[in-house]
A and B are shown apart, each in its own frame.
Chain A
Amino acid sequence: MLIDHDIVIIGAGLAGLRAAVEAAESADVAVVTKVMPTRSHSGAAQGGITAALGNEEEDRWEWHLFDTVKGGDYLGDQDAIEIMVRDAPRAIYELEHMGVPFSRTDDGRIAQRNFGGHTREYGKAPVKRACHAADHTGRVVLDTLYDQALRHQVRFYSENQAISLAFDEGRCTGVVIYDLASGSLRFLRAKTVLLAAGGCGKIYKTTSNGFATTGEVLNLAYQSGIPLEDMEFMQFHPTGLFPLGILVSEAARGEGGILRNGLGEPFMERYAPRIKDLAARDVVSRAILTEIREGRGVGGKEYVYLDVTHLGEKKIAEKLWEITSFARIYLGIDAVKEPIPVAPTCHYLMGGIPTDGDGRVLADETGRIVPGLYAAGECACVSVHGANRLGCNSLLDLLVFGRRSGKAMKDGVANVELQMSSDDPVRAAQEKLGALMDREGKEKAHAIRRQMQAAMMEHASVFRTEEGLQKGMERIIALKERLQRVSVTNKGRTFNYDLMETIELGHQLDLCEVILESALHRKESRGAHSREDFPMRDDENYLKHTLTFPGSRGTEVRYKPVAVSRFQPQARAY
Chain B
Amino acid sequence: MAARFRIFRFDPVLDPKPYYRTYEVDAEPTDRLLDCLNRIRWEQDPTLSFRMSCGHGVCGSDGMRINGICGLPCQKLVKSYDEEILLEPLPVFQVIKDLIVDLEPFFERYRSVKPYLITASLPPDGERRQSPEEIHRLEDAVRCILCACCTSSCPVNQNAETEAYLGPAALVRAFRYLFDSRDAGMEERIRILDRKEGVWGCQTLWKCTEVCPKEIPVTKQIGQIKKNIYDAKKAGG
Interface residues of A (CB under 8 A from B): 35-36, 38-41, 43-44, 92-93, 96-99, 101-110, 133-134, 136, 139-140, 143-144, 147-148, 150-151, 181, 210-212, 244, 246, 318, 321-322, 325-326, 329-331, 444-446, 488-490, 492-498
> In the docked arrangement, what's the CA distance between A330 and B61, Å?
18
The 8 Å CB contact of A495, one of B58, B96, B135, B136, is B96
> In the docked arrangement, what's the CA distance between A489 and B41, Å?
11
> Which chain A positions have C-beta within 8 A of B55?
210-211, 246
With both chains docked as a complex, state the minimum distance between the C-beta of A106 and any C-beta of chain B, in angstroms.
Answer: 6
Name B111's closest neighbour in chain A (CB-CB): A150
Whether A99 and B56, one on each chain, are in contact in the complex, defined by CB atoms closer than 8 angstroms, is no
Name A497's closest neighbour in chain B (CB-CB): B49
Any chain A CB within 8 A of the CB of B129?
yes
With both chains docked as a complex, state the minimum distance between the C-beta of B143 and any C-beta of chain A, in angstroms.
Answer: 7
> Contacts A147-B115, A150-B115 known; A246 to B146 CB distance under 8 Å?
no
Any chain A CB within 8 A of the CB of B13?
yes
Q: Of B119-127, B153-161, B202-210, which binds chain A?
A: B119-127
> In the docked arrangement, what's the CA distance between A18 and B126, Å?
20
> Which chain A positions have C-beta within 8 A of B129?
107-109
> In the docked arrangement, what's the CA distance between A98 and B117, Å?
6
Q: How many A-B residue pairs have CB under 8 A?
A: 156
Whether A39 and B135, one on each chain, are in contact in the complex, defined by CB atoms closer than 8 angstroms, is no
> Which chain B positions have C-beta within 8 A of A109?
127, 129
> Contacts A102-B135, A104-B131, A497-B41 known; A210 to B54 CB distance under 8 Å?
yes
Closest 5 pairs (CB-CB, A-B):
A99-B117, A108-B129, A446-B42, A498-B46, A495-B49
Any chain A CB within 8 A of the CB of B145?
yes
Name B30's closest neighbour in chain A (CB-CB): A330
Whether B12 and A494, one on each chain, are in contact in the complex, defined by CB atoms closer than 8 angstroms, is yes
> Contacts A106-B132, A181-B96 known; A151 to B54 CB distance under 8 Å?
no
> In the docked arrangement, what's the CA distance between A362 and B133, Å?
48
Whether A41 and B53, one on each chain, are in contact in the complex, defined by CB atoms closer than 8 angstroms, is yes
The 8 Å CB contact of B126, one of A38, A93, A148, A444, is A93
> Which chain A positions have C-beta within 8 A of B30?
330-331
The 8 Å CB contact of A212, one of B47, B53, B127, B180, is B53
With both chains docked as a complex, state the minimum distance between the C-beta of B54 and any C-beta of chain A, in angstroms.
Answer: 4
Any chain A CB within 8 A of the CB of B60?
yes
> In the docked arrangement, what's the CA distance between A211 and B35, Å?
11
Whether A108 and B131, one on each chain, are in contact in the complex, defined by CB atoms closer than 8 angstroms, is yes
> In the docked arrangement, what's the CA distance between A40 and B53, Å?
8
> Which chain A positions have C-beta within 8 A of B135?
101-104
Whether B139 and A134, one on each chain, are in contact in the complex, defined by CB atoms closer than 8 angstroms, is yes
> Which chain A positions have C-beta within 8 A of B192?
none
Task: Flag B95-128 by CB within 8 Å of A: 1 or 0 each.
Answer: 0111010010000000100011101000101111
Whether A44 and B117, one on each chain, are in contact in the complex, defined by CB atoms closer than 8 angstroms, is no
> In the docked arrangement, what's the CA distance between A93 and B119, Å?
15
> In the docked arrangement, what's the CA distance between A25 and B42, Å?
44
Any chain A CB within 8 A of the CB of B43?
yes
Task: Flag B29-63 by CB within 8 Å of A: 1 or 0 each.
Answer: 01010000000011100110101111111111100
Whether B58 and A43, one on each chain, are in contact in the complex, defined by CB atoms closer than 8 angstroms, is yes
Whether B60 and A39, one on each chain, are in contact in the complex, defined by CB atoms closer than 8 angstroms, is yes
26 contacts between A and B (CB under 8 A): A36-B51, A41-B59, A43-B59, A93-B127, A96-B123, A99-B117, A101-B139, A104-B132, A105-B132, A106-B132, A108-B129, A109-B129, A110-B127, A136-B142, A181-B96, A210-B54, A210-B55, A321-B143, A329-B77, A492-B11, A492-B13, A494-B49, A495-B49, A495-B100, A498-B41, A498-B47
Whether B46 and A490, one on each chain, are in contact in the complex, defined by CB atoms closer than 8 angstroms, is yes
With both chains docked as a complex, state the minimum distance between the C-beta of A425 and any C-beta of chain B, in angstroms.
Answer: 26
> Which chain A positions have C-beta within 8 A of B98?
495
> Which chain A positions have C-beta within 8 A of B22?
none
Any chain A CB within 8 A of the CB of B75?
yes
> In the docked arrangement, what's the CA distance between A143 and B138, Å?
14
Whether B13 and A35, one on each chain, are in contact in the complex, defined by CB atoms closer than 8 angstroms, is no
Whether A38 and B59, one on each chain, are in contact in the complex, defined by CB atoms closer than 8 angstroms, is yes
Any chain A CB within 8 A of the CB of B189?
no
> Contacts A102-B135, A107-B129, A109-B127 known; A35 to B142 CB distance under 8 Å?
no
Whether B142 and A133, one on each chain, are in contact in the complex, defined by CB atoms closer than 8 angstroms, is yes
Name A243's closest neighbour in chain B (CB-CB): B30
Whether B57 and A329, one on each chain, are in contact in the complex, defined by CB atoms closer than 8 angstroms, is yes
Any chain A CB within 8 A of the CB of B226?
no
The 8 Å CB contact of B146, one of A38, A98, A211, is A38
> In the docked arrangement, what's the CA distance between A107 and B131, Å?
7
Any chain A CB within 8 A of the CB of B1?
no
> Which chain A positions have C-beta within 8 A of B111?
150
Whether A101 and B53, one on each chain, are in contact in the complex, defined by CB atoms closer than 8 angstroms, is no
With both chains docked as a complex, state the minimum distance between the C-beta of B15 and any C-beta of chain A, in angstroms.
Answer: 11
The 8 Å CB contact of A492, one of B14, B77, B123, is B14
> Which chain A positions have C-beta within 8 A of B116?
98-99, 144, 147-148, 150-151
> Which chain B positions have C-beta within 8 A of A136?
58, 142-143
> Which chain B positions have C-beta within 8 A of A244?
56
Any chain A CB within 8 A of the CB of B130?
yes
> In the docked arrangement, what's the CA distance between A151 and B114, Å?
9
With both chains docked as a complex, state the minimum distance between the C-beta of A421 and any C-beta of chain B, in angstroms.
Answer: 31
Name B58's closest neighbour in chain A (CB-CB): A44
> In the docked arrangement, what's the CA distance between A358 and B125, Å?
24
Whether A494 and B59, one on each chain, are in contact in the complex, defined by CB atoms closer than 8 angstroms, is no
